[in-house]
Amino acid sequence: MIKISLLIFCFLISFNANALAIENTLKDHASPYLAMHGDDPVAWQEWNKKTVKRAQKEGKLIFVSSGYFSCHWCHVMQRESYQNKDVAEILNTYFIPVKVDREINSALDSHLIDFVERTQGHAGWPLNVFITPDGYPLVGMTYVPTQNFLKVLNNLTTRWKKEKAELEQIAINATHEILTSKKSGNQNLKPGLGQDYINRFLSQASAMADDLSGGFGEQNKFPSVPQLNVLLTAYKNKHDDTLRQFLLLSLNKMASQGLNDQLGGGFFRYTVDPLWQTPHFEKMLYDNALLASLYMDAAKILNNKKFEKVAKDTLDFMLDTFLSNQGVFIASLSALDSENIEGGYYLWQRDELKNILNIRELKLVELIWKLDGAAELSAGYHFAEVMNINEAAKILKISPETATSRFDSAKNKLLNVRKKRNIPRDTKLLAAWNGLALSAFSKAAKKFNNKRYAEAAKNIKDYIYQNLWEGKTLVRAVKEGIVLGAAGLEDYSYLALGLYDWIEYSRNQSDLSNQEDLLWLQELLEQTWNRFYSKQGWRLTENSLLKYGQGEAVIADSVMPSASAIIINISLNAGGKNKTTELKEKALMALSAGHAEIVSQPFWYATHIQTLYDYQKNH
């Protein structure tokens, strides 16, 4: 983490007392997240040129609060602070308050996440950042209780009034220092470089691995799909038994414990503990698409039929729960149920279980899910496998077949009751995330020869082409005829991935012609390189109002794979003749950059390392 003296909790503002009154502009917004802030006393604005110009004219700091609909702590901070009249009065008087749906303006959110991680050591949502009128981030934080937040606002108001020029220079210096640290020169792709980076990655991954519970880290546990993908490839190339055991441990734990919904299928975003027991209860489209693909690959590489079932269960969950009337997939399910209880939709009280299940079914699920003690969460039990069904059958002295039938009966009864509950849904239809879904269903259609999956993939492709693609330009999302946000690098990249995998499937189907899809992919790739790459590096969005994060040599993985690495990989492998050589030259130039960052933290550049390794292996 770069050490920058940003004077975090001790500043802020004086502003033009004659400025025009500011009003909340989010009422009835097409984004469910922004719309839920439409009645806040805080006069929320959207992030756009008009808002930035107002901040410049009035000489005020911009307060940007970024979050998303299914985020638990976003709801908490709204309830505690953004609906608080004292907080609202300060924000409305001395700041330009801006609310951002990170799923619509992902580029802005990514840059601010990076800034807060580098200056605070950690980041998350709600993400709250104070930005100078000229677009330089000054200081950021995540959730803070109301009284602490008020202190920040008051101190920063006073400090801005007295030392505005100094604070502006601090923000400028911070941006320049961070961006300088992220730039590195090109390097020749000498033979064996990809393997060298794979070895570096394996070394760091091993140091971070949890050998007892699987996954990485000692606190929260995320699926870490980009990293597990590289580990699978490493095992495929060299059958190391230690690596195999770690992969089996991680994948089994993720599927059988609290990260996965044991009743309805589908994965939650992450768990708040290192043992995979208690999730943050939001379910995101991108997680489930990526994990379905991961388990398909794991099933083949590890020769494990169980992982095939996990992949199919996840895809079926997406079709049953996330599918919209338009044939594409919505963004997420909220962590809070309709009663504002975190995880309430998924949790069970003992009396409910007794009323729903018969005695034999109850005894069986008590063993499998360990429900004989007190519930760990105040709202009830969350199911995670503690005992497999064969072990439970032995204890109950019944056959495995009887146990399976009884367990299926119990799950069906519970599911029927749960379906009567209500859970808020974010119904945005996002290009990037549906691109990942297109990839997953295309791969599944090819792997399982499944017509339902093939139809799902085709519906996604057709919807995006007809509704989100405007000849040479992609839009982020459309809802009820309203365009929600400009498409960024990740939209173009993840759609290209999905389209590439669809073409790989459809080229072998006699009833499908993919020539038009090939031309579309070619145009998509050309537009991506033209819009988001130059000799200065990558940019996440075309027209950024933020003076931060422009020209990155290499883009790291987050919970999703590096958008730049995906584009590089597809450009090196996509078929077609039109300008293919030019695309490959650009891809090789981009592949040759960012090596200082990769050597420093290979774990976070897994997808880029994989791309480099694959290229050198095949050429």
Domain residues of the chain, as ranges? 32-182, 188-212+562-619, 346-420
Beta strand segments in 90-201, E: 95-101, 127-131, 137-141
Give mean pLDDT, residues 538-554.
86
What percent of the chain is predicted at pLDDT more than 90? 79
* Torsion (CA) 376, 381, 382, 386 in degrees, nearest 10: 80
Let me know: does 46 contact 53? Beta carbons within 8 Å. no
- pLDDT tens digits, 12-49: 333 344 456 789 999 999 888 999 999 999 999 999 99
- pLDDT tens digits, 136-149: 999 999 999 999 99
| pLDDT at res. 18 | 40
Let me know: does 610 contact 565? Beta carbons within 8 Å. yes
- pLDDT tens digits, 457-497: 999 999 999 999 988 999 998 877 778 888 999 999 999 99
Joined tokens for residue 85: 């009249």
- Tell me how far apart the alpha carbons of residues 64 and 142 are, in angstroms, rounded to a whole number: 11
Collapsed DSSP state (helix, strand, coil) of residue 14: coil
Question: Exposed/middle/buried for 613, CB within 10 Å: 0-12, 13-18, 19+?
Answer: buried
Alpha-carbon Rg for the chain, nearest whole angstrom, is 25
- Tell me how far apart the alpha carbons of residues 372 and 358 are, in angstroms, rounded to a whole number: 15
Cis peptide before 126 (omega within 30 of 0): yes
Let me know: does 267 contact 346? Beta carbons within 8 Å. no
Query: Taking Cα atoms as reference points, which of 366, 231, 211 lies closest to residue 274?
Result: 211
- For domain 32-182, the question of CATH label 3.40.30.10 is answered with yes
- Tell me how far apart the alpha carbons of residues 314 and 316 are, in angstroms, rounded to a whole number: 5
Please work out, in degrees rounded to the nearest 5, the angle formed at the alpha carbon of residue 422 by the alpha carbons of 418 and 425. 120
Place 544 in a pLDDT band, splitting at 50, 70 and 90: confident
- pLDDT tens digits, 333-347: 999 998 889 999 999
Let me know: does 266 contact 288? Beta carbons within 8 Å. yes
- pLDDT tens digits, 41-90: 999 999 999 999 999 999 999 999 999 998 889 999 999 999 999 999 99
Handedness of CA 614, 616, 618, 619 (dihedral sign): positive
Let me know: does 487 contact 435? Beta carbons within 8 Å. no
Q: How far is residue 362 CA from its own chain's centroid?
A: 37
Joined tokens for residue 397: 């002295």
- Tell me how far apart the alpha carbons of residues 69 and 453 are, in angstroms, rounded to a whole number: 28
pTM as predicted: 0.89
- pLDDT tens digits, 263-298: 999 999 999 999 999 999 999 999 999 999 999 999
Mean pLDDT of the chain: 91
| pLDDT at res. 14 | 37
Assign domain 346-420 to its CATH architecture: Orthogonal Bundle (1.10)
